Amino acid sequence: MLEVIGLSKTFSTSDGFVRAVRDASFNVPQGSFFALLGPSGSGKTTILRCVAGLERPEAGEIRIGDQTVSSTSGGLYLPTYLRPIGMVFQSYAVWPHMTLFDNVAFPLRYGRQRFTEEEIKSRVKEVLQLVKLDGLEQRSATQLSGGQQQRVALARALVRRPRLLLLDEPLSNLDAKLREEMRRELRELTRSVRVTTLYVTHDQAEAMALADEAAIIMEGNIIESGSPQKMYTSPKTSKAANFLGTSIAFEGIVPSPPSGSILQTPLGLLYCPRPAEAAPGIAFQVMIRPEDVSCHADRPVGLDNIFQGRIKKLIFLGAYYEAAIDLKGLEVQLYLDRHGSWSEGQTVHLCLPPERIAVLQLHGG
Ligand SMILES: Nc1ncnc2c1ncn2[C@@H]1O[C@H](COP(=O)(O)OP(=O)(O)O)[C@@H](O)[C@H]1O
Ligand SMILES: [Mg+2]
């Protein structure tokens, strides 16, 4: 529904050029919630602003539905008000001198399309119900809490029934508890109105909780995209793997003679999914999520990839123990069952299930 193809944007500053977005391409399917996830300064806002028509890209094409809204090769650049979008930014910009009703009605009163007072009333009412602010129409915007202001901004973005909703870190100004609550609501809301949503965040947990699909952006490059589950479990690059969560990683080399799905690693021979290229001596990055590793006091029988380690540090955290385990020189952080009997200095056996291991290209990520 939203197609971004080969988008590039460079800013010139007093220190030289900043290549904020470099040849970025991605696709947001109709009705889906798509997260653009990356660290601060990676170019997320710039992409969003290009989609919104607030920034003019120097290369690439942007389509919303069947409409091209920006094409540098075609010399086309639609202004913001002609794009079928609604936006909420990090600073949600609720106008303090207006009532809640007037804040939300604003895009209807001053947009290109004309609405009667009656239509405005019914649309505002509908959208305020959606964000659970009905009944507060006459409140001054300054009398609203942070969470409520966030909802006003959302209502204002939705009131014109945009085809595409653009959200730039909309929850980052809220405290942790409210953020989680709003996260849940946002998910329900965008599903119920079935609006296609492009959501920008640096928070991987937020992206995973909300998104049907996501793209990871670093230094202006989209390095990977797909469903959060897929990228978390089988990332293609170690950069993506590390950005999405903690991982245990080490190098694995195809042994000589090569043997299908076995790599030579600092732990010893390791069973894993068959690597893409299997010529002897080729190195890969081997990655597994700590929660996929099991820890046993006694050496389990009948399992592949059992390696002996030693508990170096143990901290009781209530729900579980946090352990630092020395695994042949590799320090591994694991959560251990609080019902187990663990102690510092104890010898343990870690199992790395072969099917839970990801084998990644060592270079280019
Ligand atoms: N108007 C601007 N002028 C100069 N540099 C900018 C401008 N906007 C963004 N940048 C730079 O472009 C890069 C990407 O910024 P941005 O898209 O805001 O990143 P993000 O939203 O991922 O934090 C940063 O290095 C930032 O400093
Ligand atoms: Mg930003």
CATH of the domain at 252: 2.40.50.140
Mean pLDDT on 250-279: 89
For 302-313, give one letter per residue: b (16+ CB within 10 A) or e: eeebbbebebee
Give the pLDDT score at 339: 93
Residues 231 and 253 in one domain: no
What does the mean pLDDT of the chain come to?
92
Could you tell me the distance, in angstroms and rounded to a whole number, from the CA of residue 120 to the centre of ligand 1? 36
Backbone angles phi, psi at 47, to 5 degrees: -60, -45
Peptide bond into 257 cis (omega under 30): yes
* Domain total of the chain: 2
Could you tell me the distance, in angstroms and rounded to a whole number, from the CA of residue 80 to the centre of ligand 1? 19
- Of 265 and 193, the structure prediction assigns the larger pLDDT to 265
Residues 156 and 299 in one domain: no
Give the pLDDT score at 92: 64
What is the tens place of the pLDDT at every residue in 68-127? 999 999 999 999 989 999 999 877 678 888 899 999 999 999 877 889 999 999 999 999
Residue that is last in its domain, among 239, 273, 302 = 239
Range scoring the smallest mean pLDDT among 5-14, 172-181, 210-219, 240-249 = 172-181
What Rg, from alpha-carbon coordinates, does the chain have?
Answer: 25
Residues 255 and 230 in one domain: no
Residues 170 and 308 in one domain: no
Residues 41 and 150 in one domain: yes
Residues 89 and 145 in one domain: yes
Could you tell me the distance, in angstroms and rounded to a whole number, from the CA of residue 44 to the centre of ligand 2? 6
Choosing from 18, 56, 169, 219 the residue with most ligand 1 atoms within 8 A of its CB, the one to mutate for a pocket test is: 18
Choosing from 7, 9, 10, 11 the residue with most ligand 1 atoms within 8 A of its CB, the one to mutate for a pocket test is: 11
Residues 177 and 277 in one domain: no
Q: Is 230 helix (H, G, I), strand (E, B) or coil?
A: helix
Give the pLDDT score at 142: 83
Residues 210 and 99 in one domain: yes
pLDDT band for position 26 (50/70/90)?
Answer: very high
Give the pLDDT score at 365: 42
Q: Which two tokens stand for residue 307?
A: 């390696």
What is the tens place of the pLDDT at every residue in 219-258? 999 999 999 999 999 898 889 999 999 999 999 999 988 8
Q: Is 320 helix (H, G, I), strand (E, B) or coil?
A: strand
- C-alpha to C-alpha distance for 225 and 50, rounded to whole angstroms: 19
Helix 146-158 with 100-110: angle, nearest 10 deg: 20
What is the residue range of 262's domain? 246-361
Residue that is last in its domain, among 216, 239, 262 = 239
